Structure 1
Amino acid sequence: MMFWSDHDMSGWGYAGMVIGMVLFWALIIVGIVALIRYTAGAPQARAVTQLPHYSDYESPEQMLAARFARGEVDETEYRHRLDVLRATARQ
């Protein structure tokens, strides 16, 4: 007579199956969370960039002078806009 219990899982087999299933679902959940974070963009703490200094920017007068030098504005328009810039800077 054959004993069918030889082909069944023991207690360790069930424990291994439970542990394996928990690890499987944990990996699936971690993968979904990582995918959502990756597609949503990096958090601000990881995306720290060096901001340029204020001195690295051109002043409005320098930008206007560069446009005048390139010929984008004529002399009368340049003088008018320069007067407007200086008048608003005084206020």
Structure 2
Amino acid sequence: MMYGYDPGWGWMMLMPLLWIALAGVIVWAAVRLAQHGDGRRPHPEARPRETAREVLDRRYAAGEIDEADYLRVREQLDGGERP
């Protein structure tokens, strides 16, 4: 006899689900830790943002803009006259 304490069928079915959820959280945390390292290193896919000058240089090197546009925008970026 349980002296009035009866957890019922609901708790008996819920306990395995809680253990499964706990195991899932542990696996998820282990995978995240393995992917991101110890937190002191940036993610391998993370890259620093390009500055405006780097974007301008890349576009000029790729032939997207001509020399006149490149020189005009470079002067503006360097603090020259603004239109």
Is TM > 0.5 for Structure 1 vs Structure 2?
Answer: no
Q: Whose helix proportion is higher, 1 or 2?
A: 1
Range of TM-score over shorter length = 0.3 to 0.5
| Structure whose alpha-carbon radius of gyration is higher | 1
